[in-house]
Amino acid sequence: MSQKYKVTVDSELEEIMPRYIEIRLNELEELEKYLAEKNAEAVRMLGHRLKGTGASYGIEELTDIGAAIEDIAKTGSFAGIAEHTKRLRYILENIEIEYEDM
């Protein structure tokens, strides 16, 4: 069994977090497809989107992963993106959210 990725998020986000995670999982599938197609611009855009939302939803590491993917894709390279994608999948599939008034 995989170890859970635990995060504490503001309780005001409790209603929308399941949908947020669902959207990110859908985007992860797109990201993997675009990586296979070597579509750097689409990969960059998905990285940018992830970078822009992660911290807002209380998951700072998603912002960091998105920034790394965006930066690599800007160069037209794909070196290292697979490792970031693997980490992203781990987080999204194993996330355990605790809600707290912040």
pLDDT over 90 at 102, yes or no: no
String of b and e for 64-77 (b: at least 16 CB within 10 Å)? bbbbbbbebbeeee
Interaxial angle between packed helices 17-37 and 40-53, expressed in degrees from 0 to 180 and rounded to the nearest 10: 160
Domains, the chain, in order of start with CATH, read 5-100 (1.20.120.160)
pLDDT digits (tens, 9 = 90+) for 2-53: 699 999 999 999 999 999 999 999 999 999 999 999 999 999 999 999 999 9
Cα end-to-end distance, the chain, whole Å: 31
For residues 53 and 20, is the Cβ–Cβ distance under 8 A? yes
pTM for the model stands at 0.92
Q: What are the pLDDT digits (tens) for 66-90?
A: 999 999 999 998 999 999 999 999 9
